[in-house]
Amino acid sequence: MLLSVFTRHSTSCRFSRDRACRRCNCPKWVGGQVNGYYFRQSAKTRQWAEAEEVRVKLEEALIKGLPPFGTAVAADSAPPIPTPADPPPMSRTGVPEPLVPKPRPRVTVAQAVDAYLADAVSRSVETSTLKKLETIFRKQFLVWTRVEGIEYLDELELDTLLNFRNTWEDGPLAKQKKQSRVIGFFWACVRRRYLTENPAIGLGKIKVVQIPTDYFPPDEFERIIAATYIRRGDRGGGDVKANQTRLRTMTLLMRWSGLRIRDAVTLERHRLNGDSLLLYQAKTGTPVYVPLPPHVVEALENIPPGPKPNPRYFFWSGNGDPKSAVADWQRSYRRLFKTADIRTADGEKKRCHPHMFRDTFAVEMLLAGVPIDQVSLLLGHASVKITEKSYAPFVKARQLQLQESVRNAWNAATGNGPQSTPPTSAASVNKRAGWQLIHTGKKAKATA
């Protein structure tokens, strides 16, 4: 046999070290030593059997001196054909020819963006996340590179990416998340071997000032519930009293279950079993069981039907995109908060939104002394670190440590040494810290 078939593997093929592999779907080639020169030609197929047919035809052309060889070569005088394990082909002087890797074609920014978004779709990323990725990379990054005259991915450097970041008009938190996605995009390009290094790794961290989570204390929540009895129906249509009851029931559900508004809108009736609610958080898919107060259970069981009732859901008709239904409820809550007219201690109008009912659930649980790891499970967080980041100002142990540190500083300043205090039970600590956090706002309002 003068010529042999071998496989030219792709960079991602798991059989890339075996050129004689027949199991993969990589391109097949035909090659061999001819008159002191190494000949190779694509078989233009990915099937080994079809490549063997091409090899036979090339050998016949070699023996008869037909193209692509030009002159006939006797089969018995032909030099042995090297196998993939043999040394590299020899030059005319007998010196091994260096194996120069074939340069990889340059990848355009558009090709890299298309490949990245296609991979996100194949990984079944949430629709909301896909829309964010489309906005960042196709509508912003790709358009910006075209304006700047950047066509190829390897033209992007740290200074170039810093110029791209300077065009962002988002808030600090949104910028931080966008930069994280940009860095992830370039890491994906490195893994695909489009680039040898990640140019975005040098982007400095964006500073975000964490604002403590706001919530509705009991007096403010009662004011919101009272507003549901006097608020008019949306756009003057439908049963006003039924709409008020449904809005009040939704409010009670989010306050006492900790559900996000989307999870509450799409809540199915079969998840309510007695006084326990089986929840599946949309973001994490974590099953959570939450007991509800009797008045909330009664409100859910007796909720009036909506404009397009569906026996499967409490609040949703089951038709269309849940995002549209959530938008309708958010408009209703904007009107409700306007009616409630909640003010801060200095008389300013308080910024209210439906997610604060979930925050109220979490904060009140922490003020009651429930451990933060249990609160994290009830909220369906993927990690307790997320809960700590959002609700750290309301953790009782931290409040107690701050108070004791201040007292020790007093004693150190007077030379009396650290104050020795008797052990305090967790219940009394939580009660004291919770009372201080809840009633500080009330005292400020009374003295205003």
Residues 138 and 93 in one domain: no
- pLDDT tens profile 97-110: 555 555 678 899 99
Tell me, yes or no, whether 363 and 232 share the same domain: yes
Do 284 and 193 sit in the same domain of this protein?
Answer: no
Q: Is residue 191 domain-shared with residue 95, that is, in the same domain? A: no
* Same domain for 118 and 53: no
Output phi, psi for 32, to 5 deg. Answer: 170, 175
Single pTM value for the model: 0.57
Over pLDDT 90: what percentage of the chain? 38
Q: Which residues contact 98 (CB under 8 A, 6 or more apart)?
A: 88
The strand pairing partners of 29, in sequence order, are: 6, 42
Q: What is the reported pLDDT for 65? A: 76
213 found inside a domain: no
Overall average pLDDT of the 386-414 stretch:
75
Question: What's CA 66's distance to the chain center, in Å?
Answer: 60
Beta strands 37-45 and 4-7 are: unpaired
CB neighbourhood size of 326 (10 A): 19
Q: Residue with structure tokens 């519930």? A: 225
For the residues 380-388, what does the mean pLDDT come to? 81
Express each pLDDT in 15-32 by its tens digit: 888 888 888 888 998 888
* Pairing status of strand 276-280 against strand 272-273: antiparallel
Report the pLDDT averaged over residues 372-400.
78
The phi and psi torsions of 280 (rounded to 5 degrees) equal: -125, 110
Mean pLDDT score of the chain: 81
Nearest-angstrom CA–CA distance, 248 and 255: 11
CB atoms within 10 A of CB 152: 15
> Does 421 lie in the same domain as 291?
no
Domain boundary residue, one of 39, 65, 99: 99
Mean pLDDT of all residues in 413-420 = 58
- From the list 9, 51, 1, the residue with the least C-alpha distance to 30 is 51
What is the token pair recorded at 53? Answer: 């047919």
Q: What is the DSSP letter of 141?
A: I
Average pLDDT (53-71) is 80
Instruction: Give the other-Cβ count within 10 Å of 333's Cβ.
Output: 21
Q: Per DSSP, what are the bridge partners of residue 313?
A: 268
Token pair for residue 137?
A: 């990379």
- 241, 365: one domain: yes
Q: Is the domain of 236 the same as that of 368?
A: yes
Q: Is 208 a domain residue? A: no
Asked whether residue 339 is assigned to any structural domain, the reply reads yes
Cα first-last separation, the chain: 99
Do residues 410 and 387 both lie within one domain?
A: no
What is the domain range of residue 404?
395-447
Please tell me the predicted confidence (pLDDT) of residue 73: 44
Kindly state whether residues 16 and 160 are assigned to the same domain: no
Is pLDDT of 436 > 60?
A: no
**Contact assessment for residue 419 and residue 408, using Cβ atoms and an 8 Å cutoff:** yes
If one counts the domains in the chain, the total is 4
Domain contains 210: no
Cα three-residue angle 352-301-246, rounded to 5 degrees: 35
- Whether 270 maps to a domain, the answer reads yes
Does 129 map to a domain?
yes
Q: Are residues 274 and 314 in the same domain?
A: yes
Q: And the tokens for 266?
A: 């799409």
pLDDT tens figures, 314-351: 999 988 888 899 999 999 999 999 999 999 888 899 99
User: Does 88 map to a domain?
Assistant: yes
CATH, residue 139: 1.10.150.130
pLDDT level of residue 59 (50, 70, 90 thresholds): confident
User: The CATH number of the domain where 308 resides is what?
Assistant: 1.10.443.10
Contact at 8 Å (CB) between 7 and 24? yes
Mean pLDDT of 175-192: 94
Q: Between the CA of residue 40 and those of 58, 297, 385, what are the distances in Å?
A: 10, 77, 58
Q: Please give the pLDDT value at position 37.
A: 73
Q: Two tokens at 191?
A: 């893994």
Name the nearest CA neighbour of 444 among 345, 299, 335: 345
Last residue of a domain, one of 202, 233, 248: 202
Lowest mean pLDDT among 217-221, 320-324, 384-388, 419-423: 419-423
Do 389 and 411 fall within a single domain?
Answer: no
Specify the residue for token string 């509450």: 264
Q: Would you place residue 444 in the very low, low, confident or very high pLDDT band (cuts 50, 70, 90)? A: very low
Does residue 104 belong to any structural domain of this protein?
A: no
Single out the residue in 78, 99, 120 at which a domain terminates.
99
Ranking 70-79, 379-388, 405-414 by mean pLDDT, the lowest is 70-79
